[in-house]
Amino acid sequence: MSFTCHVSYQNVSKKIQCPNTHTVNQLIELSLAKFNLSSSFGELSSGGKKLDALLPIRYTNLVNNAKLTLTVSKGNAEVNLKIVGTIELKQITSMMKVPPSITAAELVLQFATLNNIEIDLASKHVSLSVLQTAVDNISHEFDKTTLKSLLGTSSSAMIRLVVEDKSKHAAKKKLQEEQSKLRAQLEEKKRQARLLEKEQNDAKEPEPTVHKTVTTEPVSKPKSDQIDHPEEKSSPSEGPSNSLSNTIVPDETNSANKKGEDLMQTDPVKTTPGASDGNSERNARSYVLSNDTEDTVYVPHKKLEVYENPEDDYNMTTAQAETYLNIIKSMQTRPKKKNEAKSPTHYAIRLRFPDRSLVQLHIEDPSTKLGQLMKKIDSYIDPKFINSYRIKNGTPPFREIKFGFQENGTALNKHPDFQQEKVLLIWEPASSHQPGPYLVQGVNTKDVSQLSTVMLETHRGELEEDTSATGKSVKGTSDEKPKLKTKLNKSMPKWFRP
């Protein structure tokens, strides 16, 4: 890309173009030539700040059509150079004092004469580099590039000189290009492999079933002893005695609509023993989390799974809004109570390991000694890590738990880090470079997906409904619905009303 700027000197402005790979020194040389000041030293400044002459233009803060100011000073002082040369893999270092108007080719020949060596510019590849600026006898005008264009007003500098055979240089350049292409191909293969693995994992996972609720109402007005169940889900085996709200899959929408029409032609819904039996059956089928009292080792998945919220998380019902509003009101009016610290009656201790493994320990006696807990932990740890690990509290500030002859006799309910029934601990080896596995094999082992929190999230749709929020609507009759709705609309803010 080309860079365009407007350089002003003594109230005269001129437009100058050059590649953005040029250094500020080379831009100064072009500016001096434009103003016929080739025998002077120049400096460029932008906004009153002097530009670093050794920086390439693309590394400065200059933008296209920038306005620069040129200042010149007379003089032709010599420059002290330290040239570090690599001549056919041979290292040569020399100190030289040369005028700034000397060209790159003349500098190389003078260096060769000083060290009694022969450098053929026609058959050799020669390159000079100063910081990030480099010139060579192939891609640049080696005979016209002056030292002043490379160094600017600097009075001393270090230059690296590399001389090698052109064929070797071409072979090295070709090898570098092939290596870069090979690296790009490997990166592309890795990317394709990751995409393929992701597609395979997505294909293995079952697609979530989307449910839609079709609600039909009876033609005749229900009697006062009838019970409304607006949010119940009925299975196909329950027949007309169940609620008229049927949960169906999108593929079966048409058949469900027909079933709803047939139900509308039947008698109004009445509360029968069959309906209560169906409800009790459904409650019996609801998921209940099992309470494990045995010590368990949880092994992690090979690959971390990204949790995605289901669509139900973004749908707020009126009952949820009313419950949330009541909680907010109670928090504003109720005085803060001082929570009295209760002594734990039992412990559920979870120990986390660096390889994401977990050990769930259950202790029924709160007066268990710390040493007994450590002995229990040692029974699950690989023998090579015993007596060479440390344990930290899993909550900030992640304080290390000390254990030894004096601390092991402390009861857990007297220990400051065990004042809650649920305790999270972090297990770390003494040396951070020791790889796993850290646990012994053959213990009561389960997958991390069987953790209580994960199981609750997995079976969230099968949990028993909370009757506290819907109890009033179940007990009420259809005649009371308008009154309840009016009362609800008056007590709720406008932005919460349905």
pLDDT in tens, 120-175: 777 788 888 887 778 887 766 777 777 777 776 677 788 888 888 877 777 888 88
Whether residue 470 has pLDDT greater than 50: no
d(CA 242, CA 227): 11
pLDDT in tens, 233-267: 434 444 433 433 343 334 444 444 444 444 344 44
Query: Which residue has 């229990």 as its token pair?
Result: 376
Confidence bin at 475 (pLDDT 50/70/90):
very low
Whether residue 35 has pLDDT greater than 80: yes
d(CA 16, CA 9): 13
- The C-alpha angle with vertex 440 and arms to 437 and 442, in degrees rounded to 5, equals 120
Q: Which amino acid is at 216?
A: T
Residue 60 confidence (pLDDT) = 87
> Which two three-digit tokens encode residue 278?
């169906």
Contact 24, 54 (CB under 8 A): yes
Whether residue 181 has pLDDT greater than 70: yes
Q: Which amino acid is at 38?
A: S
Q: How many CB atoms lie within 10 A of CB 91?
A: 8
> Which two three-digit tokens encode residue 33?
């030539």
In order of start, what are the domains of the chain with their CATH numbers?
2-73 (3.10.20.90), 79-170 (3.10.20.90), 230-270 (no CATH), 347-450 (3.10.20.90)
Confidence bin at 86 (pLDDT 50/70/90):
confident
Whether residue 444 has pLDDT greater than 70: yes
Whether residue 420 has pLDDT greater than 60: yes
Whether residue 116 has pLDDT greater than 70: yes
Query: Which residue has 């890309």 as its token pair?
Result: 1
pLDDT in tens, 325-363: 888 888 776 666 676 778 889 999 999 988 888 888 888
State percent of the chain over pLDDT 70: 69
Contact 137, 125 (CB under 8 A): yes
Please indicate, yes or no, whether the overall pTM of this predicted structure exceeds 0.95. no
Residue 15 confidence (pLDDT) = 92
CA 217 to chain centre: 49
d(CA 295, CA 453): 17
State the helix-helix crossing angle for 467-475 and 318-333, rounded to 10 degrees.
120
Contact 87, 94 (CB under 8 A): no
